[in-house]
Amino acid sequence: MANFAIDATPAMTYDAIVIGSGISGGWAAKELTGKGLKTLVLERGRDVKHVTDYPTANLNPWELEHRGQLPLAVRAQYGNIRSFMREDTVHWAIKPDEQPFVEEQPFTWTRGYHVGGKSLLWARQTQRWSDFDFEGPARDGFAVDWPIRYADLAPWYSYVEKFAGISGNKDGLPNLPDGEFLPPIELNCVETHLQGTIAQHYKDRQLIQGRCAHITKPQPIHTAQGRAQCQHRTLCVRGCPFGGYFSSNASTLPWAERTGKMTLRPHSVVHSIIYDEKKGRASGVRVVDANTLQMMEFYARIIFVNGSALNSNLILLNSISTRFPNGLGNDSGLLGKYIAWHNYRGKISAQYDGFPDKTTDGRNPSNGYIPRFRNLYKQEMDFLRGYATGVGGGRNLSQNQEGMGLALKERLLNPKLGPWHISGWMQGETVPLEKNHVRLDPTRTDKYGIPQLITAAGWSENDDKMVVDFMTQMTEMFTLAGFRNIKAVDTHSNPGADIHEMGGVRMGKDPKTSLLNKWNQLHHCKNVFVTDGACMTSTSTQNPSLTYMAFTARAANYAVDQLKKKNL
């Protein structure tokens, strides 16, 4: 540990420290600085400036040296690289030596180690949770009861939706509450056809346009952020120079920076949180400079942990003291346990011979969505919880490039369209189980001297049954729609392939069975808040990022209020 002269300490002291600059960390920075707190934002990866640091954002396919494909030699440098990491996006990937981890069971861990985190990598789907989701654990007895209900979070959903910019329809569904929406992005004709046949044959199922964090009609608040309307380029994962979709880089971080209260420090690998035994609270954060490997300390009155779910677990597990020998706030012994994620194993595809005179008009950065319909009002299946389904269709151009001269030119200038295709993918809720956990390796460390994380998480019989039901029900719905060449498969993908890992520092009412209270505070260390995926008690079937935003805004405003009352 570094030693500092007494007069150096004030320069390292802030009102608040935020660990992580992704979706939840960006919101913490915005809210805390907006309330006047001098805030340090720590990001373990490199800096990424909005617009200027999106190197491939405006490149045409022929301007990429390898036409988008990664050479085998480059791919080998990244180990088990995610499939969406291509030549135009590999700059977001990390190499294995940056943070090795131990897979006790196969686990796909995607990390966004750069300013903005996974807000530059996400699929931008933003559905609210409902009381069907918050009440699920209490009803079936798996996981502990959430300490909040939809009414507690509803105003905060509205608050973050207006700022972020969410497009969608007012669908009036009790299992998927409506939000503060910008105009929706329309379904295409084959998706609308499926929507109609589902409505005709089922009373309990609906296909809707997915709610997504894309600006379809800029409001003054978006213009004030310097963001513009979505251009429908569908190059989102490269980084959007227009700010058409929500990211920390385009929205919350610049907003926080304008206050003059934010200090952003990239290349700052958080080692642990410092606990002051005398004062009975956290006093700061230990950081390893990624470039110099120097250990340093920063101090603050409140700390927000937003390092992304598994890394937040790692940081807390590594934050040991005499008071907390097993990790900060871990009196219950449950820190790192009940890790859960979303089940993306089920896939389905088909073709449709209708609409030969139609094609798509432009590109859709979103997709259709079938909200959960299983086990809503009662336990009706032989598996717990349920699944939602993403749906997307389109029409491909013929790639016939045979011949030469005028004949070839004619084929290239007037390509023939193939049949319509459509696909669906499940997003199932995995039930949190104690055996699914992460823990620290007692001997192996990374290059920063931090213990490696062991992932021990696997599928259950409940997940297997859910996949079978998805394939059966979607095959039935596709058949009724007149689709052909229907292929439903179980991909048997690894846990974590959804990039929605959650839990380990779950919320709850009882300190004996949870780590956080209803305000996302550690039960036993009140000035530490966890508002990223680690805080989740269960996973629901909705994409989680909007809920992280709402939790963060709610907790940050509560923290400031408690500071003013001198309760922290």
Between CA 181 and CA 300 the distance in angstroms is 37
Cβ pair 493, 411 in contact under 8 A: no
Q: CA–CA distance from 181 to each of 177, 184, 215, 410 (Å)?
A: 11, 8, 10, 44
Domain 1-168+246-340+433-456+502-568 class, CATH top level: alpha beta
How big, in percent rounded to 5, are the helix, strand and coil portions of the chain?
25, 25, 50
Closest CA to 124 of 194, 216, 192: 216
Enumerate the β-bridge partners of residue 272: 286
Between CA 295 and CA 288 the distance in angstroms is 5
CB-count burial class (<10 Å; 0-12, 13-18, 19+) for 399: exposed
pLDDT per residue as tens digits for the range 171-196: 999 999 999 999 999 999 999 999 99
Whether this prediction's pTM lies above 0.85 is answered by yes
DSSP label at 312?
H
Q: CA–CA distance from 167 to each of 215, 219, 278, 297 (Å)?
A: 7, 12, 50, 42
SS3 416: coil
Cβ pair 252, 50 in contact under 8 A: no
- In the chain, where are the structural domains located? 1-168+246-340+433-456+502-568, 172-209+342-429+459-494
Higher pLDDT, residue 396 or 227:
227
Q: Is the pLDDT of residue 1 over 50?
A: no
SS3 74: helix
pLDDT per residue as tens digits for the range 134-171: 999 998 888 899 999 999 999 999 999 999 999 999 99
- Determine the pLDDT at residue 67: 85
CB-count burial class (<10 Å; 0-12, 13-18, 19+) for 309: buried
SS3 489: strand
Q: Is the pLDDT of residue 404 over 90?
A: no
- Determine the pLDDT at residue 79: 74
Cβ pair 375, 385 in contact under 8 A: yes
Q: Is the pLDDT of residue 4 over 60?
A: no
pLDDT per residue as tens digits for the range 252-273: 999 999 999 999 999 999 999 9
pLDDT per residue as tens digits for the range 275-285: 999 999 999 99
